Amino acid sequence: MNLLASLFQSSIGKKLLMAFTGLVLFGFVTGHLVGNLQIFLPPEKINAYGLLLESLGGALWLIRLFLLACVVIHIWIAIQLTIENRAARPTGYGVDHTSRATLASRVMARTGIVVLAFLVFHLAHFTIRIGHPEWSEHSYRLASGTAVRDVYTMVVQGFSNVGVSIFYIIAVGLLSYHLSHGIVSMVQSLGLKNERWTRGLEGFAVIYCWGYFLLNAAIPLAILGWLPVLSGLIHR
């Protein structure tokens, strides 16, 4: 088999692709969170950041295409692996026993599906801006005088809807849970793990996932006015 066929068809190749695309998406959601946290700074910051991203032009589209390819490969291989794994045990056990597989590791497909549904909604909502044509207008003037899209107001208005905020919090919660297995698992699949540093890696995954969830959840909660200090940082 040649290299690409081996990667896409062998069991270990597929796991490597899952791990690599997972690593890219893990990096993306981390960067995305850091960008989002600018909502707690004056509107100037996040709107200038939006302009910075859009000024990448063709490069932005290359990055988007690469991320889309990672999402598609991650999902496509996950479906194949799931089908193969189910076929590998046609008759189940009379007694179900689990020694140490975590619940997070056993519901990866289910948490992944909710995250995918959220991703589609999120792109339609904020990137394509369905139902909110006014969000596409250049209605914010930066200190430099440049008129840009008012990302800040877009986020505040978007999360002022309680339903949207609750869906968002559930989705980032499940994404954190997905990552709690994924972070440790991808390191194993890439062949870079041993017992000597597993404990440290697992500790990092727990801290990262709780941090990721709480920081993400803080954004809609602050906008809804439900957080004592952070809500005061939102400019309306």
Assess 2 for contact with other proteins (CB under 8 A): yes
Q: Which of 21, 165, 180, 185 binds other proteins (CB under 8 A)?
A: 185
Nearer to other proteins, 62 or 83 (CB): 83
Residues 160, 135: Cα–Cα separation, whole Å: 15
Residues 226, 231: Cα–Cα separation, whole Å: 7
Structure tokens given for 42: 């004056």
Q: Which of 222, 216, 229 lies closest to 37 in space, CA to CA?
A: 216
> Which range touches other proteins (CB under 8 A), out of 28-36, 135-143, 170-178, 188-196?
188-196
Give the bridge partners for 148, in sequence order.
140
Assess 23 for contact with other proteins (CB under 8 A): no
Q: Which residue has the tokens 């932005």?
A: 60
How many CB atoms lie under 10 A from the CB of residue 58? 7
Q: Binding residues for other proteins, how many (CB under 8 A)?
A: 46
Q: Which of 57, 58, 93, 199 binds other proteins (CB under 8 A)?
A: 93
Nearer to other proteins, 201 or 224 (CB): 201
Q: Which of 57, 96, 143, 145 binds other proteins (CB under 8 A)?
A: 96
8 A C-beta contact, residue 211 and residue 203 = no
Nearest distance in Å: CB 28, other proteins: 22
